[in-house]
Each structure stands twice: as structure tokens, then as C-alpha cells.
Structure 1
Amino acid sequence: KKFLPQTIELTTMGDRNWAVPSDAAPQIFYYRKDLFAKYGVEPPKTWADFRTAARQVEKAAPKARIATFFADDASFFQTMAWQAGAQWFSTEGGSWKVDTSDPATKKVATYWQGMIKDGLVSTAPSYSPEWTSSLKAGTTLGYLGASWSAGT
């Protein structure tokens, strides 16, 4: 009764709970308010807004990017797929089924592949010197991460 229903759902198959939910932190877009103001960019409220804002950042400061897509961190992509309604784990015929090819996951993959292809996000490895120095230098304006990432 002390867990959010959404976290219980993630650890339940059929009528049985298989794990204790943990670390159910919401995902947040942290951004440099000063740089958004400098470049005349409004904080995005939707993923369509995020792409528009990314274009605005790139036009205002050609070497800057709105954020980074961490290809080396599966949990980064997983949280976005789940937000879109993906369900990677289920049971079928009494066995576990893992499927990452559902429509929601494909939609998220297509979105981010487009952002990468169009050069609108960085692809620096997570927590790398390249990434952290870009945050300090202001060439990466934001960070998509968990609520516990404040101060990164």
C-alpha cells in the first residue's frame, strides 16, 4: 500500500508480484535557465517542443546542443520508451517474453535517431569528461535524467 500503483505494475506478472519496486524516480529535464534566456529558447513541455527548442539552440549557437543522447546507457532509452507506453516484459504461455520491438519503443527510437541524424543532440558517453566539460562550458544546455541527478 505504500508503493505507487505504477511501480507495482512494473514488478507484477499475472497475479504475482516478482520484485520490490525501487528507485521510481521521475525523469526531469534539467536546463541552464541563463542560456535558454540568452538564446531566446522556451523550456519544452512536449517532445515536439523539445525538438523545436533543439533547433533554436543549434541556430543561435551552432556548437551548442540542447542535451545529450546517451547511447551507452540503456536505462536512458528505457525510461523514454516506458513513458511512451512500451511494455518490454510480459508472459506468454507460462514463460517470460521480452520484446523491445513494440510500436512505442519504435516511435521513441525513431524520434531520437532523427535528433542524432540532424545533429540536434550530443552523443557524448554518459558522465564522460567530454560530457561534463560540455555542461561546464555551456555547449550542452540541458540534461535528461532522474530526479536524484540534481547537481550533476
Structure 2
Amino acid sequence: MQEMAEDAWQVEALYDLCFAPGRKALSSYRLRDDVPPVPAFCSVVKDDDGIVGGAIRCWPIRIEDHDALLLGPVAVHPTRQGEGLGGLMIRDVLARAEAAGWPRVLLVGDAPYYERFGFKRLNGVVMPPPTNPARVLGFGPWAGVRGRVRKRLDALPD
């Protein structure tokens, strides 16, 4: 289900639980500073009591003249891991993004995990330092797209 404003505190608590304390110091967060996520691609999975067990967010970015979504963070509560929630959320976001006219999705992550969803290592797409280039992965049509990844501050396409 789409993340709602009242879910934000649970989502942030989940990210704090699942990631290292310095997660906001990562270079991918520089692309999120002062930029709201794209609400249509921010989802949560809740149990019957309304507790968030998984969350995914996407942010608008630009590489030269090409628009894309920055996928992440993706998190699943440790008590819910192994249920396939992460894969479910990733596949859902990729399908909805493509249908909405966002065919390119980028993330920084482990290729062996994300390859199963169609992500491939991107050559020539440069994240802010200090990002390991081997962890810059893309989904969708990336042929000919090269350059620095920048945050997108202008209005989003419909």
C-alpha cells in the first residue's frame, strides 16, 4: 500500500533498525537532501495491526538530460525477513514506475541480490563520491546514458 504521512515515523524507525547509524551520511542521501520522495513509489507493507514490516521509497534524479528514479532505501523488519516482502515491493515499484513513464531506475546495492529483478551494473553513470562504481545498478533502458547523477529539484513529469 502507498506510504501515508502517518506512516513516516514507522518507516524512519524501520530504516534506523535495518541500516547502520550513519546511513544518512551515505552519498545517496545527498541526492535526497531537500527533495521529497515521489509519493506514488513510496510503499509500505503492514500487518493486521497496522505495524510497518517493510518499506520502500523512490526519489527523482537526473543524469544529464535523462530522468530516473533512485530506488531506496528498501527495508524489511528482521522479524519479517524471508517472507519475500523485499522482492514484492521492488517488483511492484518497478512495474508501477514503468507504467507511469519512469522506465529508468537506479540504485546503489549488491549486484548478486538485485540482478534477479533485472538490475545491471551501469558504466559511465557516476554517483556522488564516495560510491563504489560496482554498486551502481540500473533497471530499464540505460544504453547511451552517461554522466553524473544529480538530484532533481524541478517539477516532476505527470
Q: Shorter chain as normaliser: what TM range? A: 0.3 to 0.5
Higher-strand-fraction structure: 2
Higher-helix-fraction structure: 1
